[in-house]
Amino acid sequence: MDLAISDSELELMTYRQLTSHALAWTGMALILQALAYVIQRRFFPVLAAQREALIRLNTGDYEYRLPARGPHELAPLTQAINAIGQHLLNSRNNMRQQIEQTTADLQESME
């Protein structure tokens, strides 16, 4: 009994498998690229605005507030940045009032 093995049928199956794997990897790459695009469009503008707000707070612009927008995952960070700004503004105003009161008390005691 002779068995004849055909290489051409085996090669054809191998090429079909390679082609299907290549298509599957290409599909996954496209899905990942689309996901990255969505993440970039959704999160990066909000993160850039938060970064800008922190820079402004660092330079003394304590009245700047971030608008409540963007994905809900970043909302607590936005609220915290706004709370820090409010706290710094309140601290600065309290310090000014204390300085004015102290100055007034010193001027009164010198008279």
User: 20-68 pLDDT, tens per residue?
Assistant: 999 999 999 999 999 999 989 989 999 999 999 999 999 999 999 999 8
pTM: 0.67
Side-chain half-sphere exposure of 77, counting CA atoms within 13 A: 15
How far apart, in Å, are the Cα atoms of 87 and each of 49, 55, 97? 19, 16, 15
Percent of the chain scoring above 70 in pLDDT: 92
Predicted local confidence at residue 6, as pLDDT: 60
* pLDDT, tens digit, 9 for 90 and up, residues 66-98: 998 888 889 999 999 999 999 999 999 999 999
